[in-house]
Each structure stands twice: as structure tokens, then as C-alpha cells.
Structure 1
């Protein structure tokens, strides 16, 4: 009905499970009908099956709806344990095998229709054997999940610690002064430093971007001097403070590390030299990871609509902060560096844990054949 409200459900790729994708009214959908989901239904989107978007509907999402672009099935539990099928469809090899029955020529637009899905053959041991495999996998994968969660929490803690230390919102102004902190505008310690370069059509320029939410810098494809419409670019240097005018509202601030020294950006990325006699660049990196700073500076933005507002350099330079002593800033900088090391370790460990998870799935189902 046009006036009815329908809670919609989506399915994440790579075996990520179901999620609530918001509500729509009957008047907001172009489909004449929607598919109603029950707990335990097996569901997948026709278009994303090739990258593992298979899931079972949990109790929390029972009663939700999907569009006709999804396929839903009930499990014959006299033949198959749903938990066994759940683990089977967590396996990348299963996704690749099932995807061979998809229709279409463009890989990313191929659809897996119900007929092609149901034609796929699997090895199905006895119910007792399925349950034995499920029990073994649950034990191993639960340990993998617990290890992954422990790593995630440790990184969150290591990231939060320098931000908290840089702000010390629990400390009164008088105590800050007694500890050697000073109150100053950023214009006292930052100097705009545009290193302008005229674009040469015969040159390729290494390029960087800034991740939102204070997550640092990342490498972008190089800028081809013959292809870009820009007449000039700006070279950045190690230990400069840099931000994105357009995405400052969501924390696109950072400090240039050695690996990006000599890279180039457009004029949408103002750069500043840091007075290192008073400020450690890594202290600024920690300070600008706080959402309260992004919000305060966004208020000074110009533009129509939150996502089009630009924070101008003048707003940065006028912004006032409390600066700890250099000794405290050095401690905070070490926390930042330890956080980066922790994040790299977590990334490596997660790679190993993902490999262990896939290996456990492969071993279980290869041995069940």
C-alpha cells in the first residue's frame, strides 16, 4: 500500500550478513510487490551474489522486506542443517562456484537467478556429519572472531589515547597553566606555505588525498600533466599541516609524513609550515582527530549545505587551542607513532586471521566431500 511503511533489509558482500537498510513507504518504491522475510530464510541479491552476498535472516530482522532483486529460500531442515549451509556460504570458493551459474557478460553486472542457484550442486553429508562439522567450525571461528575483536579494541584504545592527551578536557584552565600549557591561536604557530608549481604537460605528479575522520593521508593515482585541467599544483613537504577545504567538516585533517614529502595537491588542500619550536606536528595530528574540533571549525565554513561547506585557511589560523609543554607534546607524539605501529600490526594480524578463517572453512568442506 502507498501509505504503508516497510522496514527494508540488505545483504553485505563477502559473507557479511544481513543488515537493516532503512524504511520506505509504499509510494517510494517502484516495485509493485516486495518479498517478506522470516527468521532463518536464506537470501541473496541477484546482482551481488558473485562477491559473496549470501546470508540467513536473523531473528532481529524477521518481518523485514527485500525487493524482487533478491531471492529468498526456506531450508529443508530434514536434509540440511542451516548452520552448515551458513558456513558453506561463508567460503570464497563457494561464491566462485555458484557464480558460474550467473547470467550476463559484464562481470560486475551478472545476475544469479533462482534457477541458476538451485542448479548448483553441493556435497551434503548426513545430518549427523553436518552437525559435527558445524561444531568444529564454531569452535575455531569463534576463537578467530574473539581475536579479531580484541585487536579491534586495542587499536581503538591506542588511537583514542593521544587524542585524549592532546585535549585533556578533564583539566581546568588554571591547572593547564600550572603545567606549562599556553593558550594561543593557530596563526601563532602555523604559517601558510603554498609551494606553487606550474603544470608541465610532460610531467607526472605524485598525488595524495586525506582520509576523513582524522585517519591520515593516502596515495592517489598520479596527476598527468597532459590530462589535468589544472594550470598549477602545490608541492607538500614533510611535517606540514594539511587539510581538505571541502571535507574538513568530517575530519579531513592531517600531517605530511616523510613518505609523502614532495607530493602534489590542488588548491583545495591548504598547507602550513609548523613552528616546531612550539608545536610538535604529531601533536597537531592527534589534536585534529577530535570531532569537537571539526564541528567548531565547520561552524565557520562557507557554502550551501553541510557537504558543500568549505573551511577556509583564515578559520584555521583564527582557531584557538591550548598547547601543552613541548615535553608533553613529545609524549603525545610517541603515542601517535605507537598507534600507527599498532594499526600496522593489527592489519597484518587480521590478514593472518582471515587466512586462518578461510583455511578452516576449506579444510572442513574439502574433507566433507
Structure 2
């Protein structure tokens, strides 16, 4: 059984205030949630800082975001943070006892550590859960001897660094896939309006109160269709639904300008959407379905639709059917479409595999942290 130690007995709040000069440039820190470390904000003049008080950030300090600690916004500063400043929102602690700050940081990222943080956070609304220095310092944490702290911290640090490198590589691969798609589409010389390849085609069905409907929606930025919960006909405000068919092109009038476009796959055939989601048959003599699938994901098309919305306010910019069909897109002949689609499908499979691995790495990270603080590391 580990001894519980009051945090204020092993770490001490360090406040080194600065006098903000409006004409001097400052570099601020921020802390990412979920244990993703410190990041550096763009330099700015003192005149551009908020009205909060600012303090020096020194290396080898446990830095806690007092408003986001409950979400894992805690980190250890390093030499890279030397010369930076942080607002009063960041509590900076130096060690005064036998404690490895890395161990404490990892502890607060674990399941048991998050329970401790939430227990000393005040506020009733999730985004108002603030940690005060007094409450934080009075918290008690299980703390082994310094040698054991270092052993656990060293193991976790090695593993976390490897995970971080892998995630960085996977994210870079996804970015390259997007760049590759952009380069291929922009290399096409022939542009035609979407009306040349899309024909309006809806399958409206009357909603029956005693029936159930498997509904779908479309994610923005070309991320495709997603399943919504099954809904009873008596629970919906719509009198009719549009039934999706495989290989149709579908978009959201409300969020087309955000890239809510997709081609219906087998998985979503037979699901229902509202009248706000127009559907179109793709002319097989003019366009390849696989090519159109990638085109729906292309940020160049999304950018073209940003100025096509009508209405007031960003969330009321409907893209009507006429504007969508008038939008010009790169469309070479069918053999070239198929060649481009084949390349993009291979790249997309690699990127999707990388995304799945990133999720697995996040799970591995949580598992390692929980194992470390339940005596299994």
C-alpha cells in the first residue's frame, strides 16, 4: 500500500510576475488536453496580451491549466519553454520534496489521477471546473519512493516518446495523402459543371408513425456518411424521407459549404435522410463513381462551395441545388478518371489504416498509464 502524500508537501507554487511592456514581443505557452503536452503560441506584442497577469515559465516545472486540468491539461516544462510566459491561468510548481515531476504528470493522465483532479475541481458545468492552488495542493496522491517514481517515469517516457513519433508519422502520411489528391485533381485541364455528370434523383417515402427508420448524416470536410440512431416515425418532424441508393451523390444543403458531400456506399444503401439532403445519379457515360467518391472528399471542391451559400450567418448558408450543379470540377475522360481514382483509392486505404493505428496507439497509451498506477508496470 503506497503512502498518500499531500501535494503541497512535495511541490510549491512558483509565481514570477512580469511587467508587461506593450512594445515588447512575448512568447506564450499553452497546454493541450489529454496529456498532449505544452505548445508554443505565435509571438505577440505586450499590447496584444489579455488583461490577465503574466508570469515567467521556467524549465522543470509541473504546469497545470487551472481551467482544463480535469481534461488532462497538465505538463512538465523543459528547456524549450525557457523565456516563455504564461497567464495566471497556468499554475507552475517546482519540486521541494522527493518527487519526480514526470511521475506526477503521468499520474494525473491516468484514470486514478483524473479522479483526483476532478475531486479538487470546483464548478457545476464541465467547462467551468476550475482548480485552485489551495485545493490542488491539499490533494493527496499515492507516492512511492523516488527510485520507484523514476523507474516508472523512465519506462513511461520511453513508451510515450515512441507512441508520439508513430502518431506524428501517421498524421504526416494522412497529410501527404491529401496533398497527393490535391495535386492530381489540379493537374486536370478540363473543368465542367457538376450538372454535366449529376442528375437529380430522389426516392421520397412517406413517414409512417408506426414504422422505424435507419437514418444517416454527412460529416464535413469530405469525411463521408455516418449512421444516426434508428428513429420512430412518430418521433420525427419530417413527413417524408429521402431513401439513399448505392452510388448516388448526396450532399447537405445546410453544410455543403463545409464539405458535407459523399457518394453512397453499400453500407448506407436503404438508409434515410431528410429533404435537406438532395441526391443525384452519376451519369456512367460521363463520370466514374470511384472518381466522384474522391472528388466529394477533395478540399478544392469544398473551397469552391464556401462562397455558394445563401442566407444570413455562417450556420444558415444553404447551398441550393442550382449552385451546386453550376460548380465546375476537374473532369478528364473516363480512362484518366479511372487512373486517378485507382491511385487515390490506394492512398486512401493506407491513410485509413494509419488513422486506425492512431486510435489503437491512443488506447495503448491509456492502457500503459492505467497499468503504471495500479502496480502492473
In the alignment, the residues of structure 2 paired with residue 351 and residue 183 of structure 1 have an alpha-carbon distance, to the nearest angstrom, of 38
In the alignment, the residues of structure 1 paired with residue 277 and residue 114 of structure 2 have an alpha-carbon distance, to the nearest angstrom, of 42
Cα 1:13–1:320 change in 2 (3 A) is closer
Q: How does 1:221-240 map to 2 (within 5 A)?
A: 221-240=229-248
In the alignment, the residues of structure 2 paired with residue 120 and residue 249 of structure 1 have an alpha-carbon distance, to the nearest angstrom, of 51
In the alignment, the residues of structure 2 paired with residue 61 and residue 238 of structure 1 have an alpha-carbon distance, to the nearest angstrom, of 58
- What is the Cα deviation at residue 200 of structure 1? 1.6
Whether 1:63 and 2:71 are equivalent positions in the alignment is: no
Q: Which residue of 1 aligns with 2:15?
A: none
- What is the Cα deviation at residue 49 of structure 1? 3.9
Whether 1:146 and 2:165 are equivalent positions in the alignment is: yes
Paired residue secondary structure (2:235): coil
Q: Which residue of 2 aligns with 1:269?
A: 277
- What is the Cα deviation at residue 240 of structure 1? 0.8
- What is the Cα deviation at residue 334 of structure 1? 3.2
- What is the Cα deviation at residue 282 of structure 1? 2.4
Cα 1:37–1:249 change in 2 (3 A) is farther
Q: Which residue of 2 aligns with 1:295?
A: 303
Per-residue Cα deviation, 1:95-141 (whole angstroms, up to 9, x for no partner) = 13443455678888766554443322231422x55445443333222
- What is the Cα deviation at residue 313 of structure 1? 0.9
- From 126, 138, 158, the equivalent of 2:177 is 158
Q: Which residue of 2 aligns with 1:83?
A: 102
How many residues are treated as equivalent by the alignment?
351
Q: Which residue of 2 aligns with 1:178?
A: none
In the alignment, the residues of structure 2 paired with residue 239 and residue 145 of structure 1 have an alpha-carbon distance, to the nearest angstrom, of 38
Cα 1:61–1:298 change in 2 (3 A) is farther
Q: Which residue of 2 aligns with 1:210?
A: 218
Q: Which residue of 1 aligns with 2:335?
A: 327
- What is the Cα deviation at residue 351 of structure 1? 3.6
Cα 1:206–1:8 change in 2 (3 A) is farther
Cα 1:282–1:330 change in 2 (3 A) is same
Paired residue secondary structure (2:293): helix
Paired residue secondary structure (1:121): strand
Whether 1:52 and 2:60 are equivalent positions in the alignment is: no
Paired residue secondary structure (2:230): strand
Whether 1:39 and 2:58 are equivalent positions in the alignment is: yes
Whether 1:283 and 2:303 are equivalent positions in the alignment is: no
Structure 1 residue runs of 5 or longer lacking an equivalent are 174-181
How well do the aligned residues superpose, as a CA RMSD in angstroms? Answer: 3.7
Q: Which residue of 1 aligns with 2:227?
A: 219
In the alignment, the residues of structure 2 paired with residue 264 and residue 348 of structure 1 have an alpha-carbon distance, to the nearest angstrom, of 27
In the alignment, the residues of structure 1 paired with residue 227 and residue 46 of structure 2 have an alpha-carbon distance, to the nearest angstrom, of 42
Asked if the contact 1:47/1:112 (under 8 Å) is kept, the reply is yes
In the alignment, the residues of structure 2 paired with residue 87 and residue 55 of structure 1 have an alpha-carbon distance, to the nearest angstrom, of 9
Q: Which residue of 2 aligns with 1:120?
A: 140
Asked if the contact 1:193/1:272 (under 8 Å) is kept, the reply is yes
Asked if the contact 1:159/1:339 (under 8 Å) is kept, the reply is no
Whether 1:96 and 2:104 are equivalent positions in the alignment is: no
Structure 2 residue runs of 5 or longer lacking an equivalent are 1-18
In the alignment, the residues of structure 2 paired with residue 15 and residue 256 of structure 1 have an alpha-carbon distance, to the nearest angstrom, of 37
- From 151, 156, 169, the equivalent of 1:137 is 156
Asked if the contact 2:220/2:260 (under 8 Å) is kept, the reply is yes
Q: Which residue of 1 aligns with 2:13?
A: none
Q: Which residue of 2 aligns with 1:258?
A: 266
- What is the Cα deviation at residue 220 of structure 1? 1.9
Per-residue Cα deviation, 1:254-294 (whole angstroms, up to 9, x for no partner) = 11111111111122211111012221122123223333322
Whether 1:14 and 2:22 are equivalent positions in the alignment is: no
Q: How does 1:196-207 map to 2 (within 5 A)?
A: 196-207=204-215
Per-residue Cα deviation, 1:53-86 (whole angstroms, up to 9, x for no partner) = 333456279323145xx7x242225532333333
In the alignment, the residues of structure 1 paired with residue 232 and residue 127 of structure 2 have an alpha-carbon distance, to the nearest angstrom, of 28
Larger deviation: 325-334 or 44-53? 44-53
